[in-house]
Amino acid sequence: MKTLLLMRHAKSDWEAEYGSDHDRPLNHRGAKSARLMGRVLADQGLIPDRVTSSTALRARRTAELAIESGNWDAELVLDRALYDEGPRGVLDVAASAPDVPRLMLVGHQPTWSMLVAALTGERVEMKTATVAVVALDIATWAELPGATGAMTRVLQPRDYDPGR
């Protein structure tokens, strides 16, 4: 049994100066939400063993802030494919992960919603900093492409910070 956590990057700063979409940073609210979700996952016993993030600045910072604030002892790996690829490419990235029990991927819309639907058959609105938790009856991550799972939780910052 494996658990896949799919986290959309936190809210980015459209007003900041940046060269390309890949370099767009988080805004203040986004950084706050990333930290909050790191603590929420720790509080709920859902700390990932490994985090693979898109190389885009907003996704990488989301992962870094969640790891730091949740005090996770998780390895962070950056993979450009989580920025450039669709659901199939993301599944290939996950399939190459070491066989840890709990894997988190941090990336982007619309790929994340499409991936959740492909894995679970459920439609989930993957707003910024949302985490979808998918239980998979597989022994290794290499089995992920073609596998299906069950949505066990959808965690959104607004559910834990009513003052947002």
The mean pLDDT value for 43-59 works out to: 98
Would the pTM count as exceeding 0.75?
A: yes
Half-sphere exposure of 79 (CA within 13 A, CB side): 24
The mean pLDDT value for 80-100 works out to: 96
Reported as a pLDDT band with limits 50, 70 and 90, residue 149 is very high
Sketch out the chain's domains with CATH numbers: 2-159 (3.40.50.1240)
pLDDT tens per residue across span 15-37:
887 778 899 999 999 999 999 99
Cα distances (angstroms) measured from residue 29 to each of 18, 25, 34, 73, 145: 18, 11, 9, 25, 34
Sheet holding 75-78, edge to edge: 75-78, 50-53, 102-107, 2-8, 131-136, 149-155
Predicted confidence at residue 21, as pLDDT, reads 84
The mean pLDDT value for 65-70 works out to: 98
pLDDT tens per residue across span 91-132:
999 999 999 999 999 999 999 999 999 999 999 999 999 999
The mean pLDDT value for 74-101 works out to: 96
What is the helix (H) or strand (E) element at residue 106, kind and residue range? Answer: strand 102-107
Q: Quick check: 164 pLDDT over 60?
A: no
The mean pLDDT value for 121-145 works out to: 97
Q: Are 129 and 70 in contact (CB under 8 A)?
A: no
Predicted confidence at residue 14, as pLDDT, reads 86
